[in-house]
Each structure stands twice: as structure tokens, then as C-alpha cells.
Chains A and B, each alone.
Chain A
Amino acid sequence: MSSADDVAAAASGLLEVRGLVKRFGGVTAVNALNMTVRAGDVHALIGPNGSGKTTTLNVISALYRADGGSIRFDGGELAGLPAHAIARLGVARTFQNIRLFGDLSVVENVMIGRHVRTRVGFVGALLPGGATAREERETREKAHELLRFVGLEHVAGASARSLPYGDQRRVEIARALASEPRLLLLDEPAAGMNPAETDTLVVLLRSIRERGTTLLLIEHDMNLVMSVSDRITVLNFGQHIAEGQPAEIARNPDVITAYLGGTLDAA
């Protein structure tokens, strides 16, 4: 890659990770990671197990505190901000091991996703009618609309826990989308899905991108990665070993070595 490309990428980077370090005890999980996610892209973060992908996502969304480096989102520094503030700035996410509000209904899960886009506080809640009722109605409508979008409107009233695995993942996505994020972090969205569900997911991810949401995606399913990604960053042992378009990555010898000599011929 030429340096001119880098400058261009940096100029339009929605998320810029520079020199990111995260240690657990003596283990360095993420080591001086650089990564640029361009606005409007589907950006995949791949690497073997234990390469620090999820840790990177967790540091970006402030579930872990970074031990060094910077994370700039739309020009502002994220490192040091609490998780909820980052969500407020427009970074939403899903989790590798699904984290739904299990006892609540599907639509309530998505309504909670609207939290940062709604205002009514404690005092507002006590006042009957007016603005509160309107906002409630809008929140609910918006939630139903999103459930339609992910294809789950028919289970809106069911408890989130009662859904099959694949549907739970889609509820998580709908919940994340409810905050109208500019950047959506997806941690292995296809895990546990059957091929049919994965196909639906691909369609869904594409349409999310069409809505103008930037995606940063961790995924093991290389078919999925290669078919939806605009750019790919490859991690190994917490370090960035390659970044580029899917085709470049598939040819990169370092990447192939990292995957134990396997080939990424699926692309």
C-alpha cells in the first residue's frame, strides 16, 4: 500500500486506532494496534483465536480500559470515556456471547436501544400525557420498524430469552441499530447460525450498510467476511499483520501463515 493511500484513508477514517495497547496481567492482548475504519465501509477484523479481536472491540466500546494508544472517532478521542458516553457518540455494538435483556420482551430490548435517542427522564416520566406519551409512542413505533427491518416483528412480544439463537443475534443487531449509530461493532454475528440464517445475515448486513452505517465486524466465517467486507484488518498475537481489500488479504503470505498455512481460497 502506498503512503498516499494511507493519507487518503486517514482523511476519511471514521474510526482511527493508533498504537492501542491492552494488557491482562502479564499478557499483552493487543499490542500497538493501528487500524483505520473508513466511513461507509464494512470493515472486518479477523485473526486466529486469541489474536485480540474481541479485546480490541471491548476497548473501543470502553468495556476495558486501554493501557496505551488512542482511539479517535470522528476526530474525537474515545479513550477514557465511559461506555455509555461512547454509545451516545454513535458507537453501538453486539456481543460474541449474546447479551440480551433476557427477561424483557423483544420489542422492549429494542426500545432500550433507543435510550440515547430519547430524553424523558425521571421527572418527565411522572408527568402524564404530552411529550412523554409522544416519545413513548415514537420509541415503540421505531422499535417495531427495526424489528420489521431485521425480520422479527412477529415475535415482538415474546421474551428475548425464548427466541432461537439466530433470532437472538438479530434482536441484538436491531437493539444496536435503534441508537442510530454511525459505527456498529459486530462481534461474530454469524456464530451459531446455520447456512440459511447466515445468508439472511449477509443480506441484513448489506442493507445496514446501505442505511449509511459503518460496520466493524469480527467474524470467523470467511465466506461471510469475504462477501460483505470492503476492507479487512488481520490480527495475530495482538498485532496488526495486514490491512487491505479482501482480495489483497487473501493473497497476503503473512495472513496465510497466521492461519497455519491454510488458504483463504473461499474468497
Chain B
Amino acid sequence: MHFDPVANMQLLVSGLAFGSIYALVALGFVLIYNAVGVVNFAQGEFVMFPSYIAVTFLLPAITVFGTVVHWQLPIVGVYLLVLVLMVGFGLLFNRIAYHPLRDRGWMPVVISTIGVSIFLRNAAQMIWGSQPIVMPSLFAVDTISVGPLHIRPQDLLIIGVTAVLIAFQFFLFERTTLGKQMRATAQDRATARLVGVRVGRIVAITFVYSALLGTISGLLVAPLFTVTKEMGALIALKAFAASIVGGFGSIPGAIVGGLAIGVIETFGGFYISSAYVDAIAFIILISVLLVRPQGLFGERVAEKA
């Protein structure tokens, strides 16, 4: 294997694009973790479900519940529609899977999110069947060539949208009242409640925001992935890993963790072994955990006795 600068650039772009998706989904994990202290195992379905809804309205013809429908709507309208529907989805998810269990510790919530995940995956199969579905791309060309480098515009879009969302999130958390309330809830719910934050509402908003992050990730990757009921599962697992590498609960950690896993995986697949590519990610993850159990950006939890 000789060193090839073009190949390396190619790997970097692809790694960053995938890393951006991991980072976006990881942000969703981190938000929910911060707000309610649990991991949402249905986060992958937050990516998958909106993708299905989007293709349902985008394609000239699609089979829904065994009948062919022709709803082809303009792309911007569809994106907005999906986002609105996913707001409702986030609220419903909070109501069903989290709210009844909010005082029962993290384990029951984990199990209930697993249940929802099983439900949604198979509901998707019931509704849309098992055929993978292509989401139309926003771009007329699949690839642009820059010298010897071949770049997919979709990859650039993913990286760009992720950057914008990170900036937006920074603004939201640092500059707005809502963001400050979310942070207060994350840090200490009891105190937040004392100072007048409506914690229940903030938690609901967190679920909605997390669902929207999933939705955007889904809309971004669907043109590259094809829409299937499994499409969110592995992304979610890697994003979970990313959020832990970064330090659970840390937003910059989730971003750096996501990008790092994306890039390391792609390079690892090329230089070490593509058969063991998932192992590479997890070996790095476990090593990070053992050296720095709080993750790269996590704060060392003060020992309390």
C-alpha cells in the first residue's frame, strides 16, 4: 500500500461527511442525555422514519400500505412537512416512551426506547414494504471532479449543514432564554424548577429538537444510503460511540467524537482492514474510555461521598 495523497484527500472528505452525520445524531443523543439522563435507543429511528415520510411525498409513485400513491410535492414543501410531522413525533415519543417513566431511573427508559425502536422499524416495513427506496438528490450531478479528486456535492452539503447546525445550536444555548433554560434543566432539574423553569416543557422541547436533528440527518444521508428500515441503526450506534468518545453530555465532545470516528473509520478501513472497520472504531473507543473514562471533553465528575 503506497501513500497516495489523492486517495487520502478522498478518504478525508468521505470520513468528514460520515463523521458529520455521526456528530448530528450524537448531538441528539447528548441533548436527551443532558435533559433526562438517559440514552435514547430509538435515535436511529429518528433518522429512518422521517426519511420514509419524505420519500412518500417526494416520489412520483410509491407504495404505501400496498397501494400506489402519487403525491409528488415540491421538495421544499416536503422538507417543511417532514419537519412539522417530526415535531409531533418528538412530542408523542416523549409522552409515550419517556414521560410515564421519568421517575423510574434510566434503565426502564432505555428498555422502553428499545421497544419503540423495534416498533418503528417494523411499522416502517408494514407501511412501506421492504424495498429500499431512493431519495432524489438535490443535485443534478452526482460527482464533481476537482483535479484528480472526485467529490460528491451531497458530502459537501452534509458537512456544510452540520456546521450551520452546530453554529445554530451554539447560538441557541448561549444566547437565547430557551437555550439557557435547557442548559439549566440539563445541569440540575430540581434547581431549574425552583427558579421557575417549566422542566416538563423543556424536556418535551428537547425531544422535539432531538427528533429534528435526526430528521435533518435522515434527509441528508437518504440520497446516499437509500431509505430502508435499517438505515438508522448503525448510524445511531456509531453516534452513541461518538458521544461517549467525546464525553457524554458534552456538545463539543459529540461533534469532535463524531468527526473523529468518521475519519478514523474511513482511514482504518483503507490502511488497516475493512473487514474489521467497526472493530477499529470500538477499539479506539474502549481505549479512550480506559485512559479517560470521562471521555475527551467530559468533565471529571467530582467525587462525592
Consensus secondary structure, chain B interface: loop
A24 to B302, CA, bound (A): 9
Q: Check: B303 CB closer than 8 A to any chain A CB.
A: yes
- Closest CB in chain A relative to B303 CB, distance in Å: 6
- Closest CB in chain B relative to A212 CB, distance in Å: 27
A53-90: which have CB < 8 Å to B? 54, 58, 63-64
Contacts of B302 in A (CB 8 A): 24
Chain A proximity mask over B264-305: 1 for CB below 8 Å, otherwise 0: 000000000000000000000000000000000000001101
Chain B proximity mask over A29-70: 1 for CB below 8 Å, otherwise 0: 000000000000000000000000010001000011000000
Q: Check: A95 CB closer than 8 A to any chain B CB.
A: yes
- Size class of the contact patch on chain A: under 10
* Seed contacts A63-B303, A95-B305, A96-B305; 6 additional CB < 8 Å A-B pairs: A24-B302, A54-B305, A58-B305, A63-B305, A64-B303, A64-B305
Contacts of A58 in B (CB 8 A): 305
Contacts of B305 in A (CB 8 A): 54, 58, 63-64, 95-96
9 A-B residue contacts at CB 8 Å? A24-B302, A54-B305, A58-B305, A63-B303, A63-B305, A64-B303, A64-B305, A95-B305, A96-B305
- The 9 A-B pairs with the shortest beta carbon distances in the complex, nearest first, are A63-B305, A58-B305, A64-B303, A95-B305, A63-B303, A54-B305, A64-B305, A24-B302, A96-B305
A58 to B302, CA, bound (A): 13
Q: Which residue of chain A has the shortest Cβ distance to B304 in the bound complex?
A: A97
Q: Which residue of chain B has the shortest Cβ distance to A96 in the bound complex?
A: B305
A96 to B303, CA, bound (A): 14
Chain B proximity mask over A9-33: 1 for CB below 8 Å, otherwise 0: 0000000000000001000000000
- Closest CB in chain B relative to A52 CB, distance in Å: 13
A95 to B302, CA, bound (A): 17
Q: Which residue of chain A has the shortest Cβ distance to B303 in the bound complex?
A: A64
B222-268: which have CB < 8 Å to A? none
Interface residues of A (CB under 8 A from B): 24, 54, 58, 63-64, 95-96
Contacts of A63 in B (CB 8 A): 303, 305
Contacts of B303 in A (CB 8 A): 63-64
- Closest CB in chain B relative to A61 CB, distance in Å: 8
- Closest CB in chain B relative to A33 CB, distance in Å: 17
A63 to B303, CA, bound (A): 8
- Closest CB in chain A relative to B280 CB, distance in Å: 35
- Closest CB in chain B relative to A53 CB, distance in Å: 12
Q: Which residue of chain B has the shortest Cβ distance to A187 in the bound complex?
A: B305
A63 to B302, CA, bound (A): 12
Q: Which residue of chain B has the shortest Cβ distance to A54 in the bound complex?
A: B305
A96 to B305, CA, bound (A): 8
Contacts of A96 in B (CB 8 A): 305
A54 to B303, CA, bound (A): 13
A118 to B207, CA, bound (A): 50
- Closest CB in chain B relative to A124 CB, distance in Å: 31
B7-52: which have CB < 8 Å to A? none
Q: Which residue of chain A has the shortest Cβ distance to B300 in the bound complex?
A: A25
- Closest CB in chain A relative to B211 CB, distance in Å: 34
- Closest CB in chain B relative to A177 CB, distance in Å: 20
A24 to B300, CA, bound (A): 12
A223 to B303, CA, bound (A): 31
A138 to B96, CA, bound (A): 49
- Closest CB in chain A relative to B107 CB, distance in Å: 13
A43 to B177, CA, bound (A): 51
B129-180: which have CB < 8 Å to A? none
A24 to B305, CA, bound (A): 14
Q: Which residue of chain B has the shortest Cβ distance to A99 in the bound complex?
A: B305
B189-238: which have CB < 8 Å to A? none
A96 to B302, CA, bound (A): 17
Contacts of A54 in B (CB 8 A): 305
Contacts of A95 in B (CB 8 A): 305
- Closest CB in chain A relative to B103 CB, distance in Å: 14
A54 to B305, CA, bound (A): 8
A267 to B302, CA, bound (A): 37
- Closest CB in chain B relative to A103 CB, distance in Å: 11
- Closest CB in chain B relative to A7 CB, distance in Å: 34
A79 to B302, CA, bound (A): 21
Contacts of A64 in B (CB 8 A): 303, 305
A91 to B13, CA, bound (A): 60
A169 to B189, CA, bound (A): 27
- Closest CB in chain A relative to B276 CB, distance in Å: 36
Q: Which residue of chain B has the shortest Cβ distance to A95 in the bound complex?
A: B305
Q: Which residue of chain B has the shortest Cβ distance to A57 in the bound complex?
A: B305
Q: Which residue of chain B has the shortest Cβ distance to A83 in the bound complex?
A: B305
- Closest CB in chain A relative to B298 CB, distance in Å: 16
Q: Which residue of chain A has the shortest Cβ distance to B302 in the bound complex?
A: A24
A95 to B304, CA, bound (A): 11
- Closest CB in chain A relative to B108 CB, distance in Å: 14
